[in-house]
Amino acid sequence: MADEKKDAKKAAKKAPRKSSPKAGKETAKATKKADAKKATSKKPATKPAPKSETKSKAPAKKAAPPPAPVAPPVVRASARYVRIAPRKARLIADQVRGMHIEKARALLQFSPRSAAQDIHKLIDSAAANAENNHDLIGDEMRISSITVDEGPTLRRFRPRAQGRATPINKRTSHIAVALTPAED
């Protein structure tokens, strides 16, 4: 009896169900797709028609891209390990950034701050680099960028009352200047 139940289950699995309307539609779609594939596969392959050689086009010449604008030369100079706090040097650097070199020299010459002397020497050095290395006129330049970065700090200690010691930080700066020709 157990064998008969197994045979009945196998037969039920193999036979399609006709009671549900979806099952009939799915099998019909599957047979239509199979017939369509057979019909397309039976078509003989045809070669494309050869192109006529009477109409021969000359290869199109590509237009040359416009030349890229030439960037103005940038003249650089840097002073490293300058013994001044970067916070103090940035005050002077902000004043001369973007200025024409002659105006910057005049401002730095009469500035009471000690950082002005170091930045003045650096700008003179950059102008000399422009003349000697780039064949430019040093007095016709402008300060395109000037940065003041922090260098290493010299740590010192000051003796205080009752055997104590307080730290003294002697800060240093790295100053970099970039000059470009002034637009007239």
Domains of the chain and any CATH numbers:
75-159+166-181 (3.90.470.10)
pLDDT per residue over 67-96, tens digit each? 778 788 999 999 999 999 999 999 999 999
- pLDDT, averaged across the chain: 82
Q: Is the pLDDT of residue 117 over 70?
A: yes
Q: Is the pLDDT of residue 17 over 80?
A: no
Give CA 145 to chain center in angstroms.
Answer: 20
Retrieve residue 149's tokens. 């970065």
As a whole number of angstroms, the distance between CA 149 and CA 172 comes to 9
As a whole number of angstroms, the distance between CA 101 and CA 78 comes to 16
Q: Is the pLDDT of residue 179 over 70?
A: yes
114-133 and 86-96 helices cross at what angle (nearest 10)?
60
* Angle (CA) 135 78 68, round 5°: 50
- Distance (Å) of CA 66 to CA 63, 69, 70, 73: 9, 9, 12, 21
As a whole number of angstroms, the distance between CA 139 and CA 125 comes to 12
The residue to which tokens 């799915």 are assigned: 26
Closest-CA residue to 146 (of 102, 91, 83, 70): 91
Q: Which of 15-24, 38-47, 97-106 has the lowest mean pLDDT?
A: 15-24
Q: Which of 38-42, 98-102, 120-124, 166-170 has the lowest mean pLDDT?
A: 38-42
- Distance (Å) of CA 117 to CA 19, 80, 124, 169, 184: 101, 15, 11, 22, 28
pLDDT per residue over 128-143, tens digit each? 999 999 999 989 999 9
Compute the average pLDDT of residues 166-177. 98
As a whole number of angstroms, the distance between CA 171 and CA 2 comes to 97
Compute the average pLDDT of residues 167-179. 98
pLDDT band at residue 66, thresholds of 50, 70 and 90?
Answer: confident
Q: Is the pLDDT of residue 31 over 70?
A: no
pLDDT band at residue 41, thresholds of 50, 70 and 90?
Answer: low
Model pTM score: 0.62
The residues that bridge with 154 in the sheet, in sequence order, are 170
Tell me if 132 sits within 8 A of 124, measured CB to CB.
no
